[in-house]
Amino acid sequence: MVLGESQDVILDQKNNVHNRYLLLYKLLQNRDKQMAILFDGHSRSKAQIQLMLIRREGLVDEILLAKLSDKFRNETDPEMLGW
């Protein structure tokens, strides 16, 4: 996902090289912040929201997810929650 977005910015001939660099830099900064929200600071209090966000981004291993309780899977299902 990030690599594809980066490639789109790099190959965009509508912007000059410097603007593409600035856009790429900003994209990577934003994605880094997003990944920090998803994966940093593990705690029980944040587990449910983090798993829901990870699932929303499509970054969950379905085999591992199947090992969780039905209740927890339902509580972290972004589609069921309208995310």
- pLDDT, tens digit (0-9, with 9 covering 90-100), for 34-81: 999 888 988 888 899 999 999 999 999 989 999 999 999 999 999 988
Q: Is the pLDDT of residue 31 over 90?
A: yes
Which pair of structure tokens corresponds to residue 25?
Answer: 């830099």
Same domain assignment for residues 3 and 29: yes
Of 61, 55, 47, the C-alpha closest to 77 is 55
Same domain assignment for residues 28 and 59: no
Domain range for 26 is 1-40
Amino acid 42: pLDDT: 83
CA atoms within 13 A of residue 67's CA, in its CB half-sphere: 4
pLDDT class for 23, splitting at 50, 70, 90?
A: very high
Same domain assignment for residues 33 and 49: no
Cα(1)–Cα(63) distance, integer angstroms: 21
CA atoms within 13 A of residue 47's CA, in its CB half-sphere: 7
Same domain assignment for residues 52 and 80: yes
